[in-house]
Amino acid sequence: MLEGKRQPAATRNISLGGMYVESASPLPMGATVQVRFHVPAQVEAIEVMGDVRWIEPPTGGNTQTGMGIRFHGLRARDVWALNRYFQS
């Protein structure tokens, strides 16, 4: 979410440090965002603040812009849920 606006995006890669997402509406470099996503190991959504660290323009007929988002910190239960997800 940027300035109270929700934007759909597809997660392509995720780690404890951040995620790579693709969106038709790219965010500016350095933008602070709140991301919300689900993993199977946890019923509640993971919500974390992050910032856009890099941007990858669309290539090869893809219309989506890629963005690397660095998390500002995860709660302990979210780290646990992500680690469980990575093990599966």
- Determine contact, residues 50/32, Cβ cutoff 8 Å: yes
| Number of other CB atoms surrounding residue 46 within 10 Å | 20
Residue 7's pLDDT band, with cuts at 50, 70 and 90, is confident
Calculate what percentage of the chain has a pLDDT beyond 70: 95
Domain ranges of the chain: 10-87
- Tell whether domain 10-87 is in CATH 2.40.10.220: yes
Whether residue 2 has pLDDT greater than 60: no
Confidence at 1, pLDDT banded by 50, 70, 90: very low
- Two tokens at 13? 């890669």
- Contact between 37 and 88 (Cβ < 8 Å): no
